[in-house]
Amino acid sequence: MHAPLPCRDALLTQTRRNSDTVAEPIFLSEPPMRRIATFAIALALATPALAALKPGSPAPAFTAPAFLAGQAFTFDLTATLKKGPVVVYFFPAAFTPGCNAEAAAFSQAIDKFKAQGVSVIGVTAGNVERLAEFSKDTEKCAGKFPVAADPGAKIAKTYDATMLLKPDLASRTSYLIGKNGRIAAAFDAMNPNQHVRQMLDAVAALQGKPVQSKK
């Protein structure tokens, strides 16, 4: 049973599904050093994440270098919240299969978030040197929402969204932050398939609308 939440913007549930953990495949056609880095990421992806922040908690403010459709800018969470709620989703590394799939899912659903006045930002510590490319890749972000670089997972650590065995990488953790700056919902699962659905349902709950059934 969930404890009462301290603010109206907080969704009633936080879900952890570390049993959904999946490892990312390694591409042997990559150069040796990149294969080593990819192996390290894959190993990290097979481990549980640290506990996510609880709904009702203050969301740590941050600014970060980011890219939208290949164009660089500075993302400011506080400024963005003035426009409405924000989905901040942390992911381990750009151009890895699970993260590619998750980015594509958010890009395909972005109009549903925008229709509710909700902004989306992806944040990662992995392969940050390729984020400009990742942000505009038509099979990933497709230029529809920004992604921010978080070297060393410094931002992710303030959100309790890092790997247990590799804390310099973010876990796959999604947050809905209410306009009041507090966590409205959190979803923590290495399987990328449910993050968009969970965040859309959280938006509906935040706005007092019927929540769609989970698949």
Residue-level pLDDT at 119: 98
Element (H, E) at 108: helix 97-115
Residue-level pLDDT at 135: 98
Q: At what angle do helices 195-206 and 97-115 cross, to 10 degrees?
A: 20
In the structure encoding, which two tokens stand for residue 185, read together?
């919902």
User: Token match 């303030």: residue?
Assistant: 158
Per-residue tens of pLDDT for the chain, all 215 residues: 444 333 333 333 333 333 333 333 333 344 555 544 544 555 444 444 445 899 999 999 999 999 999 999 999 999 999 999 999 999 999 999 999 999 999 999 999 999 999 999 999 999 999 999 999 999 999 999 999 999 999 999 999 999 988 999 999 999 999 999 999 999 999 999 999 999 999 999 998 887 765 54
Of 80, 75, 189, 45, give the one whose Cα is nearest residue 135.
Answer: 75
C-alpha torsion sign, points 100, 132, 127, 109 = negative
Residue-level pLDDT at 215: 46
| Domain 25-206: CATH class, spelled out | alpha beta
The per-residue b/e assignment along 106-141, b for 16 or more CB within 10 angstroms, e otherwise, is bbebbeebeeeebbbbbbbbbbbeebbebbbbeebb
Of 78, 73, 52, give the one whose Cα is nearest residue 195.
Answer: 52
Of 198, 205, 177, 173, give the one whose Cα is nearest residue 188.
Answer: 173
> Tens digit of pLDDT for each residue in 41-82?
554 444 444 458 999 999 999 999 999 999 999 999 999 999
